[in-house]
Copies of this chain bind each other. A is one copy, B any other.
Amino acid sequence: MRKRKKKLSSKIGWSTPDRITVHGLNLCEEVLGHFSVGDYAFLLLTQRRPTREESNVFNAVFITLVEHGMTPSAMVARLTQLGSPESLQAAVAAGLCGLGSVFVGSMEGAARMLSEAMPAEGSAGDVNLDELAKDIVATYRSNGRIIPGLGHPLHKPIDPRTPRLFEIAADSGLSGPHVELMQGVQKAAEAASGKQLPINATGAIGAICCDLGLPWEIVRGIGVMARSIGLVGHLLEAKSNPLAFELWQRTEEEILLNSSADTLS
């Protein structure tokens, strides 16, 4: 059973009449005008301010996740707006509900795979990342599981975000063993399968987040933060350039045509 608690508390923040405290900082004096949105998100995730280099990498990772075009999530937000134009927040909420195991899950999966495989710092002996990569690939293959972070249905032969994100991490001096391990996993997977398996954006982000020191459990949270910004963008566009009504009408018409014919046969 879960335990009862006598005292409810939170380190996130609280307010008195003349002061608002957030993660131990005075919001008005120490945060506003001194933080950018990205750095503030980093603070909420890690309880500390990023260095300039960490900020560069984190902002690039976050931005990569904001907008992916007309995804199912964006379609959901727009279709919800059609029925509840008065509730922007509910349309964004509906869009977020689909960020589960299929879409954001592979990013989380890549981060988890890499962080669980990597020996703890200071563990005895050197780590041979190539051997580790081969072990990971062999384990996934023998279990019949898909290796997260590899391959992309559209972006072939390479996902253009991957080299750019790796470049930003390297330029900031923050490309580390998890990125190297991810690259080893790619090589081992290509050797084992005989197919081209480029590291996709979720694989790159998973690896970079690990090298930033972010626990894998946090990674899905960055995706949710980012996508909610993108969904607001879609809902604003939909006011002048809607598509939900047309999508609905086409779908209903097609269903009517194909389904009623089905029942006759």
A positions within 8 Å CB-CB of B: 1-2, 4-5, 7-22, 24, 27-29, 31-33, 35-38, 40-41, 44-45, 56, 59-60, 62-64, 66-73, 75-76, 79-104, 153-156, 158, 160-161, 164-165, 168, 217-218, 220-222, 224-225, 228-230, 232-237, 239, 241, 243-249, 251-252, 254-256, 258-260, 262-263
Contacts and interface: CB of A to CB of B under 8 A. Distances in A.
- Number of chain copies forming the complex: 4
Contact of A10 (B16, B81, B96, B237): B237
A102 B248 CA distance: 14
Given A28-B161, A237-B10, A44 B66 contact: yes
Contacts of A86: 86-87, 100-101
Given A16-B256, A224-B228, 19 more contacts: A7-B254, A8-B258, A12-B69, A16-B154, A20-B161, A21-B260, A27-B161, A31-B63, A32-B168, A72-B79, A73-B79, A80-B97, A84-B101, A86-B86, A88-B220, A88-B224, A89-B100, A92-B93, A217-B236
Given A4-B249, A10-B259, A94 B97 contact: yes
A168 B248 CA distance: 32
Contact of A239 (B18, B68, B217): B217
21 contacts: A5-B246, A8-B246, A9-B255, A9-B259, A10-B243, A14-B70, A15-B154, A17-B155, A20-B160, A28-B160, A29-B164, A32-B63, A37-B38, A44-B233, A69-B255, A73-B79, A90-B97, A92-B224, A93-B96, A221-B232, A222-B232
Nearest to A82: B72
A9 B263 CA distance: 11
A11 B237 contact: yes
A82 B2 CA distance: 11
Contacts of A45: 232-233, 236
A100 to B, nearest CB: 3
